[in-house]
Structure 1
């Protein structure tokens, strides 16, 4: 008998959704438009990191060893496309007007002055040890330090500026080290091969592997789970609206006086919207697998992970349904539930890492993000897609999502009973 009542409650929810075409559009069409649009926009950023070159202006007023080394390093970095048909004034105007992101200007006599500076300092050090080079040289005043001018578009991201300046500093530092080493060789008359002067410590990135291929995160691996979660939680809007409609139309009164317990109505909504969440997830995955490759985007790889992803989707769906039930129970009008539901989902997405990665947020917001159910779901998806975790590895996030559902539904039932107590 209880199963029959649950079934009838399920059918009632399906009929309500069939009458709400706008809700169906919000639930299914809008997330698909978002995932395609946002992924296309963000993929250019990932491609910048994967090989697309940024055009920058390079002006060589030195035309000697150091400037040629810097130019070669920039070209070999596979990040920049060097434009050389500018002078410093035209480069400054082009960058400050936003035509290009940056310009690098190498000053005149950089190599000559650097050599003189190093020779002077090396002679001073060698003399302090009571040693003399093969030929005594007259000490001269060291020339002043030279400045490499970097011009940036005022709208350029601060992270990009820091990255470029760090790269240029590293290149100059390595060039200076080699020249200092060579100057000591000449002063001391050693014959050690300069090529052996390599870094004793270097960095080697170890990434997860799939067969012989490195597994690297891309725009699709972020956006498919992120916007799937956003779509799942957006069911809060139609769910809460339907609950408010039931109260305004008297359906909830008939439900209360019927022999069917209130929690059965909640379970009916839960099963209905869980199916919707699963359909949303499958549509998002289908877009990632079949549509994205035709749009010059990476395909979404779910091989061997589909079961775990479905489990996360169901638990995330439970959390979203619980939140929608709570909102619909507390709200008195559609004007309250719809805007608040949409706004709250956007806020949860923002603090949950859907738009901006959590590690880029201020420390206080990183702490706040730990309390967002979207962040729990996103971490669980990441653990499966990028870290190859199983169900055991995401158990904590699944427990949090389920407890969130239990807590919100319990509050809803308690509030409903209190409001209708005679």
Structure 2
């Protein structure tokens, strides 16, 4: 009957119940669509960048060709049919009309070749391949060149770093090619061919499940994270219902029955556990059946659904325990609702739902280990991405259940102490 009572309370608040199910679905769809582009190596949307070429040489041509080949950028060299100057580029970028401008300095190609010639001549002369009778000429001092990058102040630091790394790698390859060519000319072996391909390469070894490579995508990262966020948001309606029972006198009437308060708590736990599991299965269903129709990869749960359900259940227990404690301690709905919403957002922030834990400061990484959302999120990732067994997630789900036991026990002790006084 305690379970029936809880379902009747939820049924009376139909609007709140709809929000409890619909809002998480809207959230996971919106966030996944937005973040999906960052998990794709090739994007359909090209970023226009400005290229100011004061060099007009081989280096600037190579830079232009490489940027044109890159499917992430569209190179613009003219505005209103006029070559772009550095001043025009800087003004357009700083006003937010373009995200990036690259300025190639004057005589870059000529000076680069001259510098390489000097270095190669020094090496060749020390090796004894030059005429020792000839008087060495005084070498011209060649100033270092700068390729200027102008970024829109609003772009993210990660975008800046990736672009600067790409440009740096491009220039390094140009310099290396120039050195090889100059050595050929100096040694008089024009027909000699140097293998200029990279000797050291990188290859990502992708984990396999059932002999199939499993490449993580935005769906596999976002669905567990925002499902966990939605599960913990039941703290708000649960704590509000407990406060309502106290303010309306329902709780006092329940205490007159020949049952302990523990029975009431068990009724709430079972009821809201059902709600949590319905939320979880709705999120999974949307990720499997709806995502492919809106251009997102479907969620692959092959062989994982049972363990994911176990993690969701124990995550629900942790959220329920927190909601019971909050509803027991709070005296008014004005206390429980704002505090519940704020605390869930804080737990999500420090738990790694929004920002990965490994990019946080050391102190925050330590604090993150104390968030029940972090335990649940890591358990989801263990099952979905790391392909672990049930035994390996026992420590994390045990922490979630222990959190439920501790918070519920504190709530029962607090309520008994308050009524005794």
Verify same fold: TM over 0.5.
yes
Q: Match of 1:4?
A: none
Q: Match of 2:304?
A: 305
CA 1:212 to 1:13, structure 2 compared with 1: closer, same or farther past 3 Å? same
Aligned positions of 1:6-17 closer than 5 A? 8-17=1-10
CA 1:212 to 1:50, structure 2 compared with 1: closer, same or farther past 3 Å? farther
Q: Match of 1:339?
A: 338
Q: Match of 1:94?
A: 92
Q: Match of 2:414?
A: 415
Q: Match of 2:52?
A: 59
8 Å CA contact retained: 2:184, 2:192 = no
In structure 1, the gaps of 5 or more residues are 1-7
CA shift digits 1:75-106 (9 cap, x unpaired): 33332222222412332222121111101122
1:159 and 2:158 matched: yes
Which whole-Å CA distance do the structure 2 matches of 1:55 and 1:111 have between them? 25
CA shift digits 1:110-145 (9 cap, x unpaired): 211111111112222333344417997844304222
CA 1:81 to 1:390, structure 2 compared with 1: closer, same or farther past 3 Å? farther
Q: Match of 2:289?
A: 290
1:19 and 2:16 matched: no
Aligned positions of 1:243-322 closer than 5 A? 243-322=242-321
Aligned positions of 1:46-195 closer than 5 A? 46-47=39-40, 52-85=45-78, 86-88=83-85, 89-132=87-130, 138-189=137-188, 193-195=192-194
SS in 1 for 2:420: coil
In structure 2, the gaps of 5 or more residues are none
CA 1:311 to 1:253, structure 2 compared with 1: closer, same or farther past 3 Å? same
Q: Match of 1:3?
A: none
Q: TM-score, length-normalised on structure 2?
A: 0.91
CA shift digits 1:361-413 (9 cap, x unpaired): 22222221111111111111111222222222322211111111111111111
Which whole-Å CA distance do the structure 1 matches of 2:138 and 2:164 have between them? 33
CA 1:395 to 1:28, structure 2 compared with 1: closer, same or farther past 3 Å? same
CA shift digits 1:313-357 (9 cap, x unpaired): 000000000000111111111111111111111111111111222
Aligned residue pairs total 415
Which whole-Å CA distance do the structure 1 matches of 2:127 and 2:407 have between them? 77
